[in-house]
Structure 1
Amino acid sequence: MSAADLSTLSTLSNLPWDRPNPHTLVVTVAPEHIDLMRHTNNVVYLQWLEDIAWAHSTALGLGPAEYEALGHGMVVRQHELNYIQATRLGERIALGTWLTGADKLTLQRHYQFIRIDDGQTAFRGRSEFVCVDIAQGKVRRMPSAFVQAYTNAVVPAQAG
């Protein structure tokens, strides 16, 4: 690991996360993310939700290939998106996510996006997912591999 990588990891761990040990990605706001209001367009945040959710799921051993092999997947039932502060061109944003609940059918995921330079939370969100049979598109119980990986990764809210 390079010195820059270690510095980034240290910086990320010192950010004011809502819960301990988020799964993180760092993005930089690019010109294509900017809208007429000269800040990151709302739809970009939705893409970032998908990016960080897939990165976390894949890190837990359940990426697209595993979904396909198991014939099941998690699909969004509901998103809650809270835009708190603008992000602007060139800013580095730490995307963080946690699984906050899981049972045999559903999964809850929380998100927090923090501007790295000033440590300010720019966005919070929540998604609820439901398990479906990929071939039939019908709600089904999660395969045991899903239950094990996802329930073991649930992070409770911090006390206080």
Structure 2
Amino acid sequence: MSWRRPAPFVLDIEVGAEHLDEFAHVNNVVYVGWLEQCAWAHSRALGLGLDEFLRLDRGMLVVRHEIDYLAAAREGERLELGTWIVECDGRLSLSREFQLRRPADDVTLLRARTRFVCAELSSGRPRRLPAEFVERYGRALVKA
């Protein structure tokens, strides 16, 4: 398996007809949705699900996506989307990297990086990362 970094959190994906565009390959908007699903699943695995976000009145909001689309995916293919937390400043922001692979031929279809900032959910204003976020996201931080 050719992962860009060691020990990714992996979301398994099966490409269905609902993911396809007019060219019979996965639509780019679908890929963005998969990035979101993977980030949420990884956060939940770290013990930071929606209940914790609501209780703390804090959430991690996307401020930037950088996506390189390298190859197309088609209906019926099995894919693996890996993610890593690659930056966490312990104050306001964190960044994730993603890699989407097709295990059948070990081709990387997509690489992405997303920057998040912590915000108070009730106001939408940027706020300091709660201690729970610093500890759990910090524990998952992968050094370059």
Aligning the two structures, in what range does the TM-score lie when normalised by the shorter sequence? Answer: over 0.9
- Distance in 1, Cα, partners of 2:13 & 2:122: 34
Return the TM-score normalized by structure 1.
0.88
* 1:22 corresponding residue in structure 2: 8
Greater helix content = 1
* 1:116 Cα deviation from its structure 2 partner: 1.5
* 1:84 corresponding residue in structure 2: 70
1:100 to 83, 86, 110: 86
- Distance in 1, Cα, partners of 2:8 & 2:44: 14
- Distance in 1, Cα, partners of 2:115 & 2:57: 20
- Distance in 1, Cα, partners of 2:12 & 2:121: 31
* 1:100 Cα deviation from its structure 2 partner: 0.1
Percent identity, aligned pairs only, is: 48
User: What does residue range 109-128 of structure 1 map to in structure 2 within 5 Å?
Assistant: 109-128=96-115
* 2:27 corresponding residue in structure 1: 41
Whether contact under 8 Å (1:80, 1:126) holds in the other structure is yes
**5+ residue gaps, structure 1:** 1-14
The two structures, once aligned, show a CA RMSD in angstroms of 0.6
What are the Cα deviations for residues 8-51 of structure 1, in whole angstroms up to 9, with x where unaligned? xxxxxxx1000000000111110000111110000010000000
What are the Cα deviations for residues 124-154 of structure 1, in whole angstroms up to 9, with x where unaligned? 0000000000111100000100011111111
* 2:121 corresponding residue in structure 1: 134
Return the TM-score normalized by structure 2.
0.98
**5+ residue gaps, structure 2:** none
Large movers: runs of 4+ above 4 Å: none
Looking at CA atoms only, which structure, 1 or 2, has the larger radius of gyration?
1
Whether contact under 8 Å (1:19, 1:156) holds in the other structure is no
